[in-house]
Amino acid sequence: MAKELDFYFDFSSPYGYLASKRIDAIAREFGRIVRWRPILLGVVFKVTGQTPLVSQKLRGPYHERDLARTARRLGIPFRLPEPFPFAATHASRGFYWLQESDNDQAVQFAHAVFDRAFVEGKIVQSAEDVTEVGATIGVDRDRLAQAIARPDIKDKLRQEVDRAIERGVFGSPFIFADEEPFWGNDRLEDVREWLRRGGW
Amino acid sequence: MAKELDFYFDFSSPYGYLASKRIDAIAREFGRIVRWRPILLGVVFKVTGQTPLVSQKLRGPYHERDLARTARRLGIPFRLPEPFPFAATHASRGFYWLQESDNDQAVQFAHAVFDRAFVEGKIVQSAEDVTEVGATIGVDRDRLAQAIARPDIKDKLRQEVDRAIERGVFGSPFIFADEEPFWGNDRLEDVREWLRRGGW
């Protein structure tokens, strides 16, 4: 079985979105499988004392500029959803429910969530937002709505977030290649190089 | 006259040190002159509410690892000084005093400060530390000691820090290429590309 790359992200993270467009190609290049793992940065930030980037003085305006500039350089469509950031709890639960039965469909759903947020500029926050996105890839609205309210699915997301914090994840995107941690869309070239050389 | 690249950094910033080894070559490639501008992140952090990276939960251990890993990939010697971070007020004042009469010597001094901190692993904090570094490049100890106590030199540093904050500088290294802001050693390739294409 192919080795995995762990890809942690928050659906509300713009740098996570940019990485989501690139991570699969890097994994394929080295015969790896990407393990997509949505988490909630809001919970992580309670541990680290951080606040969302875009709301920070000086840092916020810079990062809005850097995001647009980085997206242009990479040729990836990009806009910030309004309002921003949004709470991705429901979307993340929907992902883990889909992943239980079909990982490919879950990844397709993840791309659809990101595209609604960062291409169309609409938040994916409410249960209705999530079922609407699911419908675009053929997921039954009622089954998805019921699933994201299930206690075991809520537990699954909580466990993933707790495990991420245990592993040292403090931002999005955050990638592990053979337990080596890489934070940020701007470390994807390092991930590629790490896989190519087997470390350095 | 050649156009300038503004290179803001804190002498106590390890990513600033890494960038200091690379910025001159990038500038030369495009006929630019680097304007070295030491600042004090401690003052900047009072505005942004940030804290020093290495002391942060989860983020600290990751960045120690990322620094060592990035230095290895770039082939740059690196260690963290003890204790870390240190206050670079005296070193920064020494730099601006030297720059008044000889920019090249000031840059030579900046490299010597960075090397003592991040190659030898010794802090450059006290007036004695600073005059010791100065002596290694032929600067008279007494003149340097007197200069860093001068009110006009203290004012110069304060003005540079204030101006940096006005321009949106919130970290180190921080580079302006034709007023376009770039934060981080990991944006140096973007700076190069920006100069090559004249923006994108």
From the list A47, A171, A183, the residue facing B57 with the nearest CB is: A47
Is B62 close to A183, i.e. CB distance below 8 A?
Answer: yes
How many helices (DSSP H) and strands (DSSP E) are in chain B? 10, 4
pTM above 0.90, yes or no: yes
Residues 54-73, chain B: which have Cβ within 8 Å of A? 56-59, 61-62, 65-66, 69-70, 72-73
Over residues B77-90, the mean pLDDT reads 96
Residues contacting A181, CB < 8 A, separation 6+: A167, A168, A169, A174, A175, B62, B65
Residues 111-140, chain A: which have Cβ within 8 Å of B? none
From the list B48, B181, B183, the residue facing A57 with the nearest CB is: B48
Least Cα separation, residue A160 to chain B (angstroms): 17
Q: What ipTM, to 2 d.p.?
A: 0.92
And the tokens for A10?
């928050």
Q: Say yes or no: A45 contacts chain B, CB-CB below 8 A.
A: no
Task: Label the pairing between strands B174-177 and B180-183.
Answer: antiparallel
Q: What are phi and psi of B173, to 5 degrees?
A: -75, 160
Over residues B101-113, the mean pLDDT reads 97
Rounded Cα gap, residues B179 and A23, in angstroms: 32
Over residues B45-56, the mean pLDDT reads 82
Over residues A148-164, the mean pLDDT reads 98
Over residues B96-109, the mean pLDDT reads 97
Q: What is the mean pLDDT of chain A?
A: 95
From chain B, the residues in CB contact with A70 under 8 A are 190
- Residue ranges of the alpha helices (H) in chain A? 14-20, 23-29, 41-48, 59-74, 89-101, 103-118, 127-136, 141-147, 151-166, 188-197
Is B62 close to A170, i.e. CB distance below 8 A?
Answer: yes
Least Cα separation, residue A48 to chain B (angstroms): 5
Chains A–B, number of C-beta pairs less than 8 Å apart: 71
Tell me which H or E stretch contains B188.
Answer: helix B188-197
